[in-house]
Amino acid sequence: MSTDTFTFDRQFPLPPDRMFTVMTAPEYREIWGAPDDGQVLQTISSDFTVGGTEHHRCGPKEAPEFEVMTRWYNIDAPHTVTYTETIHAGGMALGAGLVTYVLTPAGTGTDATITVAVVSFVGPEMIDEFRAGWTGGLAKLDALAAKQAS
C-alpha cells in the first residue's frame, strides 16, 4: 500500500459561485475531469448532495475501463467541497482519494486550493497515475474557466 498527498493552488477568472459550479456539476466535470483529449470521463449517475454518490466511467475514449465511485461528504457552496473517490478496474479496487476544494474570492475571480490525499492498493505506480490525472485534469479546468470567463 502506498500513500501521498498533493495540493494544487489555482487562480481562476470566474467568481467563486460560478467556479464552484464548473468544478462540481457533472456536465462540467465530464469536460475537465479526464487528464487529456485521448481520455474520457462519463457520468453514469449523479446525486450531488451530502451523502450522495456519483458513478463515473473513465479511461481511453475507445474503452473507458475504470469505474470511479464518488461520495460527497461536505458541500458548502460556493466555499468548500469534500468527497472521496474510489477507482476500480476489472472488479478490483486500485486506489482511493479524499479530495477537498477550498474556494476564496480574489477580486473578480477565485483562488482555489485543491488537496488530494490518495492511497494505492496496487503499488506506487497508481500514486503517479492519480497525480498525472489531477495535473492533466486541472490544466483542462484552467482552460475551461478561461473560456467561460470570455
Grid cell locating 16: 467563486
pLDDT exceeds 90 at position 1: no
Average pLDDT along the chain: 96
CB 79 within 8 A of CB 98: no
| AA letter at 85 | E
Buried b (16+ CB within 10 A) or exposed e, 15-29: bbebbbebbbebebb
3-state secondary structure 80-125: EEEEEEEEEECCEEEEEEEEEEEEEEECCEEEEEEEEEEEECCCHH
Reduced to 3 states, what is the DSSP secondary structure of residue 69?
A: strand
Reported as type and span, the H/E element at residue 2 is: strand 2-12
Structural domains counted in the chain: 1
Look up the domain containing 66 and give its range: 2-149
Q: What is the Cα–Cα distance from 45 to 16, expressed in whole angstroms? A: 25
Q: What percent of the chain has pLDDT over 70?
A: 100
What lies within 8 Å, CB to CB, of 143 at 6+ separation is 32
CATH number for the domain harbouring residue 9: 3.30.530.20
Question: With a threshold of 0.85, does the pTM exceed it?
Answer: yes
At 82-129, the pLDDT tens digits run 999 999 999 999 999 999 999 999 999 999 999 999 999 999 999 999
| Burial of residue 98 (number of CB atoms within 10 Å: 0-12, 13-18, 19+) | middle
Q: What is the Cα–Cα distance from 54 to 86, expressed in whole angstroms? A: 11
The pair phi, psi for residue 146, each rounded to 5°, is -60, -40
